[in-house]
A and B are shown apart, each in its own frame.
Chain A
Amino acid sequence: MIHAAAPVRAKRVLPGFTLSLGTTLLYLTAIILIPVLALILKGAEIGPARFWAIVTAPRALAAFQVTITAAVIATAFNAVYGLLMAWVLVRYEFPGKRILDALMDIPFALPTAVAGLSLTALFSANGWIGQFLEPQGISIVYTIWGVALAMAFTSVPFVVRTVQPVLEDLDPAFEQAARTLGASEGAIFARVVFPQILPAWLAGCTIAFARSLGEFGAIVFIAGNLPMKTEIAALLAFIRLEEFDYQGASAIALVLLMFALILLVVSNRLQAWAMRFKGI
């Protein structure tokens, strides 16, 4: 008996693939693609010479420099602190652990303006913490350190929350195996544990960095926003917009967008490298 080759398709779990994909694409287009495209087109209107003049103006350059420097400082701090925090939350049992775990999300939940205000109040010359720092000659508010502080505050959960689940899923047998093979605790962390959480950690740090570059609300309160000193790029774009200088605003925004895209690519590359052993 000869069977006709009847096309048999595996049933999809979710019904309406076309509909769900269509909705997703529509939403993605409306909320991400069109604004980005508009930004790029707006930037393209300016023309390369004018664009270059805007983004290399001393004030703009200074703003980029402040933004990137502060973001690097904030990310370096979060890279260490976030990893430590994730480690503590996963590896130790102590009273109040759940509360600490919940507190980790506050930077996500808190309006950034509130965060900026409270940080300013804490670190200003007569604030709770600032009153002790100021006599030592350390000023946070209205300096680049203030900018970095605000960035660090808003972006630390990204590191903690990406590393934490990976660390939780790490089979304790790996460490036990290393121990039976004679590895010291330090060697176990450096050679067995850390390489396995490295992809997640890199991802977390990249997102934290990207978030720091774009942070606005928390920073404007604490930075003082002195042009050439503590003015960040996002604020400069905002100021240009207020001056009805749409071209200037979109040129600066475009540069920020480029940074974000470059970061995404770098982050993906780094992760692919760090996960090279997982593929078949």
Chain B
Amino acid sequence: MTIAISSLTKRFDQTAVLRGIDLTINDGELVALLGPSGSGKTTLLKIIAGLDWPDAGGLVVNGQDWLPLPAQKRRIGFVFQHYALFPHMTVRDNIAFGLTVRPKSERPSKTAIAAKVDDLLGLLQIPHLADRFPAQLSGGQRQRVALGRALAIEPAVLLLDEPFGALDAAIRRDLRAWLREVHQATGSTTLFVTHDQEEAFELADRVVVMGEGRIEQIGSADQIHDHPASPFVARFMGAVVELPVTLRAGRAEAAGLDARMLERRAMADGPAQLFLRPDAIALDADPASPWILSHKASNGAMIRATLRRADGTEVPVDLLRHSAPDLSLGTAYRLRPLTGAVFPLDGVAQNDAPRPLPILKEKRQ
């Protein structure tokens, strides 16, 4: 199923939740919608599911306009953030629900339904839980049941809302690998929402980064890491170091900065902002640099060094402990970024600090 989304907009009262979304998802693709909360990713997912409606825009799936189609007719599998398993039904009945609820003429026979449920229980690796109620399951088991219930109707599109949001880190990793397998086995077009970069990059073929109702960037993990398309993406990807620099011939220059490893940018000379991740900065001793090592701490694997300039600006740097040079406090070091992104100042200002939601404003008054 190919999903084509065009100029989708949606407002809740005064707040624009989606500000024009254009996105095409190819048949069989596994796509992640990544963004902080309030970026509109869940709303977009619900619109695709038919549980919410846009104010304007188009949603076309395999050439068919889906907007007038009720959720019941879209044949989508939706996995809710908190699973929404029917508490009064056993695991078996939950999974069979989408089949037993069909009108008599389309409903498979009881034995066919039972066989289908058994198949899914096997795929989900939970056949021993068939007769339990959701209250008797752990979070990871509920997640599997929720996915099984969605898969039972052989959905054309599988949508997952923060599928692993409520689980422990270890179970998350397990389920992630397993979801990838399930996706390969079923081949259904899959779209999932997450705020966890690691999850998005590990699972998805393509990652769609969303911020404040807009798509900020679409790409693979490496592309988004190395070439963030906007200051928003750079910050979201963990580029917490922001340094004012001067661009000369496409290269960033500042005192105590050695940016030779960064690619030249086709941007006009002048002031700009450099975005760096603490783990993508190397340090070289340089008495002429204004950056003085003021603090260092080790967590065993990494050393976190803090460099301080006379004006109070601090730059955190994460170095692998075994390959890091001997650092001594009070010494001056030059920053040598390995990767980084440069944006012109006006672009930074425009996207500076997320706008507060009107609701928050009202509360403050």
Interface residues of A (CB under 8 A from B): 171, 173-174, 176-184, 187, 191-192, 195-196, 277-280
Contacts and interface: CB of A to CB of B under 8 A. Distances in A.
Contacts of A280: 135-136
Interface in B64-94: 70-78, 80, 82, 84, 86-89
Contacts of B134: 277
Given A179-B51, A180-B49, A181-B101, A173 B84 contact: yes
Nearest to A190: B101
A278 B135 contact: yes
A177 B87 CA distance: 12
A173 B82 contact: yes
B29 to A, nearest CB: 20
Nearest to A183: B101
B75 A182 contact: yes
B102 interface: yes
Given A173-B80, A180-B77, A277 B71 contact: no
A196 B87 contact: yes
B302 to A, nearest CB: 37
B126 interface: no
B78 to A, nearest CB: 4
B57 interface: no
A278 to B, nearest CB: 6
19 contacts: A173-B82, A174-B86, A176-B51, A176-B84, A177-B78, A178-B101, A179-B50, A179-B71, A180-B51, A180-B72, A181-B98, A181-B101, A181-B149, A181-B152, A183-B98, A277-B87, A277-B89, A277-B133, A280-B136
Contacts of B149: 177, 181
B80 A177 contact: yes
Q: Is the interface of A mostly helix, strand, loop or mixed?
A: helix
Q: Rank and list the top 6 A-B pairs by shortest CB-CB distance, nearest first.
A: A181-B98, A173-B84, A277-B133, A180-B78, A177-B84, A183-B101
B-side interface size class:
20 to 34
B135 A182 contact: no
B136 A183 contact: no
A182 to B, nearest CB: 5
B97 interface: yes
Contact of B153 (A181, A187, A277): A181
A280 B135 CA distance: 6
Interface string B203-227: 0000000000000000000000000
A88 to B, nearest CB: 23
A181 B147 CA distance: 12
B69 to A, nearest CB: 12
Interface string B233-270: 00000000000000000000000000000000000000
A187 B101 contact: yes
A180 B87 contact: no
Contact of B87 (A187, A191, A278): A278
Contacts of A187: 101
A176 B51 CA distance: 7
Which residue among A177, A184, A187, A192 has the maximum number of chain B CB atoms within 10 Å of its CB?
A: A177
B88 A178 contact: no
